[in-house]
Amino acid sequence: MSESLPPRGFPGSGLAKGLAVTLRTMTRRTVTAQYPDVQPELPPRTRGVIALFEENCTVCMLCARECPDWCIYIDSHKETVPAAAPGGRERSRNVLDRFAIDFSLCMYCGICIEVCPFDALFWSPEFEYAETDILELTHERDKLREWMWTVPAPPALDPAAEEPKELAAARKTADKYAAEAEAEAQAAATAAAQATPEAPPAAPDDTPAAPGTPPAASETPPAGSDKAAPDGTAPGPEGTP
C-alpha cells in the first residue's frame, strides 16, 4: 500500500514566494548604519574590552589563575613598608610591575572580572582596537588604564529594591554613634546646669532720689525726733507717753 503524498503546488510556486519576499524588502527603508561616520548605540553592558583600575589591584593573581585561556600576564615584586608607629612591625606588600592581556586569545567570558575581589577589572564598551599585526593585540597596563575612563557608570538602583547590606550596616553604625553623641551632650548640659550656683537675692535699691522728691516716711520714727507720730499726737519728751 503506497503512502499518500501531500499535493504538490503549481509549478513555479517557490519562485513566486521568493520574488514576493524580494519585493517586500525592496519597499522597506534601509537601516544600514553609516559606520564609522555614525557610531552605533551599544547596550550599557556591552563586552567590548577589559579595563584595569591599577590602584585597586593587589596582585592576588586570581584573575590569571581562573582565566581559561591563560591570556593574562602579571609580574610583581615585594617591598617592605616601615612600621606606622614606633615599636610596630614592618610589613611587606606586592607592587605591580606588569599587567597585560592578550586579546588574540581572550574569549571575553568575563571570569576575570567576576573573580576579582577588589574591583580592579571592568567591562568597557570600547571596541575599536583592531590591529594589523596579531602581536600588537597584547595590551599592557597603560593601555588598559586608558580604557578605564570609558567604563560607564553603574546603573541606578531600583527605588523599590532592598537597601544593600553594606549601606544598612553603615547607616546603623552611624545612627548608633549619633545617639551616643547626643546622649553625652545632654548629660554634659545637665551637669553644667547643676554645677551653676544660684543667683544671690537682689540688693536694696540705693539709687538717690530725684531732686524735689520727698523722702519716704519711716514706719518707726527715731527717738527724740520732732516728727509727728502716725496717729497725729505730738511726741512728748523722752520717756513721756
The x, y and z cell numbers of residue 134, run together, are 596579531
Q: Is 72 exposed, middle or buried (0-12, 13-18, 19+ CB in 10 A)?
A: buried
What would the DSSP string read from start to end of the chain?
-PPPPPPP--TTHHHHHHHHHHHHHHTSPP----TTTS-----TT---EEEE-GGG-----HHHHH-TT--EEEEEEEEEEPPSSTT---EEEEEEEEEEEETTT-----HHHHH-TT--EEEE-------SSGGGGEE-HHHHHHHHTTPPPPPPPPTTSPPPHHHHHHHHHHHHHHHHHHHHHHHHHHHHHHHSPPPPPPPP--PPPPTTPPPPPPSSPPTT--SPPTTSPPP-STT--
Cα Rg for the chain, rounded, in angstroms? 48
pLDDT at 108: 93
pLDDT at 241: 46
* 122: nearest Cα among 50, 212, 65, 74: 50
pLDDT at 194: 84
pLDDT at 239: 47
Taking CA 136 as the corner, what is the angle to CA 121 and CA 107, rounded to the nearest 5 degrees? 45
pLDDT at 213: 57
Tens-level pLDDT at each residue, the chain (241 residues): 456 655 666 777 888 888 999 988 888 887 788 888 888 888 877 889 999 999 999 999 999 999 999 999 999 999 988 887 888 888 888 899 999 999 999 999 999 999 999 999 999 999 989 899 999 999 999 999 999 998 988 777 777 878 778 788 888 889 999 999 999 999 999 888 888 766 566 655 555 555 555 555 555 555 555 555 545 555 555 545 4
Residue 118 C-beta-side C-alpha neighbours within 13 Å: 13
pLDDT at 31: 79
Task: State the Cα–Cα distance between residues 131 and 191, nearest whole angstrom.
Answer: 76
pTM summary value: 0.54
pLDDT at 140: 94
Q: Are 148 and 53 in contact (CB under 8 A)?
A: yes
The x, y and z cell numbers of residue 81, run together, are 613598608
pLDDT at 231: 52
pLDDT at 216: 54
pLDDT at 148: 92
Residues 6 or more apart whose CB falls under 8 angstroms from that of 73 comprise: 64, 98, 99, 100, 101, 102, 138
